[in-house]
């Protein structure tokens, strides 16, 4: 990833034209991201890895498969950075537009389709990047066929595999270094990304608001209360609310049951997320992914088969 990043590639699928101001904001955010220490370190390691390609035949060594996954990771992390910066650009443009409207009050709960789209894309790319980096590490230790569903490990599987392997590996094994890099993608900074991504894919996709989520936003949802604790809490809430009218309380409790099951009827807690929170979550994830990848690539370059290729690359001459 370099500072000469495309300005509006990912805007092609949008339904409305992108303003010049938004594109300028996007370019500025991309340049700002390119100056992150994590990004500069990552770019340096990728350049080192690229040196091993020049003029060198691919070694007949299954450990070299890890380069395939690093190459995929490098393409995916670019997409994540683009969506992250497009999200920031659209959010900033939207806030500027709202603050300039003197004839209506600024609505902090304003929803923006572009912000939503790029936030969701970035969440998905973040998890893809994490999985690709885990596959890169796995490929170094264990050959596998990526076109077969058998023996293909997910991120958690790779962590378990590395934890088991380090018990028997010697002190010079890179296992501990890889494990430490990947475990950083399983901590508190990355957990919200996984949670939000799972909501997008498997549950109700949270709406991203330009600032804060409005109170009680969204359509009510009938949620069955199945544990004794949940049932007791709901019953106590109703009894407390109508403590002056016990008959009304009994009627409300009756009306809140369907087929003998007690329900609560209210908007989902995670139906919306404020933009400031989303930006913080994605920035932390992007920085962590860059750090982890840099560690993994440097570790690979210090070991065969890449070590020899990096130390004595064959630089192709003109016309080759």
pLDDT (tens digit per residue) in 130-165: 999 999 999 999 999 998 877 778 999 999 999 999
Average pLDDT rounded to a whole number, residues 80-86:
98
- What value does the mean pLDDT of the chain take? 85
Residue 275 has pLDDT above 60, yes or no: yes
**pLDDT number for residue 191:** 92
| 253 or 213, which is more confident | 253
**pLDDT number for residue 312:** 66
Confidence tier at 108 by pLDDT (50, 70, 90): very low
Confidence tier at 292 by pLDDT (50, 70, 90): very high
Residues pairing with 151 in the sheet? none
**pLDDT number for residue 139:** 94
Residue 168 has pLDDT above 90, yes or no: no
**pLDDT number for residue 59:** 86
pLDDT (tens digit per residue) in 34-43: 999 999 999 9
Residue 187 has pLDDT above 80, yes or no: yes
Secondary structure (DSSP) of the chain: --SS--SSGGGGG-SSPPPHHHHHHHHHHHHHHHTSHHHHHHHHHHHHHHHTTTTPPPPS-GGGHHHHHHHHHHHHHHHHHHHHHHHHHHHHHHHHHHHT-TTS---TT-B-HHHHHHHHHHHHHHHHHHHHHHHHHHHHHS---TTSSTT---HHHHHHHHHHHTTTS-TT-THHHHHHHHHGGGSTTTHHHHHHHHHHHHSPPPEEESS-PPTT-S-EEEEE--SHHHHHHHHHHHHHHTTT-HHHHHHHHHHTEETTEEEEEEE-TTSEEEHHHHHHHHHHHHHHHHHHHHHHHHHHHTSTTHHHHHHS-----TT-
Average pLDDT rounded to a whole number, residues 85-90:
96
**pLDDT number for residue 238:** 93
pLDDT (tens digit per residue) in 208-223: 877 666 665 667 889 8
Confidence tier at 313 by pLDDT (50, 70, 90): low
| 311 or 254, which is more confident | 254
Q: Where are the domains of the chain?
A: 9-215+270-311, 220-267
């Amino acid at each position: 990833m370099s500072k000469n990043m495309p300005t509006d590639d990912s805007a092609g699928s949008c339904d409305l034209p992108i303003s010049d101001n938004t594109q300028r904001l996007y370019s500025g955010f991309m340049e700002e991201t390119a100056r992150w220490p994590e990004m500069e370190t990552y770019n340096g390691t990728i350049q080192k890895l690229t040196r091993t390609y020049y003029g060198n035949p691919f070694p007949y060594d299954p450990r070299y498969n890890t380069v395939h996954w690093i190459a995929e990771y490098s393409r995916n992390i670019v997409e994540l950075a683009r969506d992250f910066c497009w999200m920031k650009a659209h959010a900033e443009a939207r806030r500027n537009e709202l603050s300039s409207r003197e004839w209506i009050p600024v609505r902090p709960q304003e929803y923006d389709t572009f912000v939503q789209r790029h936030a969701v894309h970035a969440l998905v790319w973040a998890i893809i990047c994490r999985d690709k980096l885990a596959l890169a590490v796995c490929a170094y230790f264990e050959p596998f066929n990526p076109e077969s569903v058998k023996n293909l490990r997910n991120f958690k599987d790779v962590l378990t595999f590395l934890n088991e392997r380090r018990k028997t590996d010697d002190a010079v094994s890179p296992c501990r270094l890889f494990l430490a890099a990947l475990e950083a993608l399983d901590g508190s900074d990355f957990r919200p990304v996984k949670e939000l991504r799972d909501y997008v894919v498997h549950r109700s996709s949270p709406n991203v608001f330009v600032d804060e989520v409005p109170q009680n936003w969204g359509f009510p949802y009938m949620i069955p209360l199945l544990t004794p604790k949940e049932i007791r809490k709901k019953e106590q809430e109703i009894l407390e609310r109508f403590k002056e009218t016990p008959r009304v309380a009994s009627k409300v409790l009756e009306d809140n049951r369907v087929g003998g099951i007690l329900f609560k009827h209210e908007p989902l807690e995670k139906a919306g997320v404020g933009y400031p929170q989303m930006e913080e979550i994605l920035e932390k994830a992007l920085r962590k992914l860059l750090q982890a990848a840099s560690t993994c690539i440097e570790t690979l370059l210090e070991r065969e088969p890449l070590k020899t290729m990096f130390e004595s690359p064959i630089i192709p001459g003109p016309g080759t």
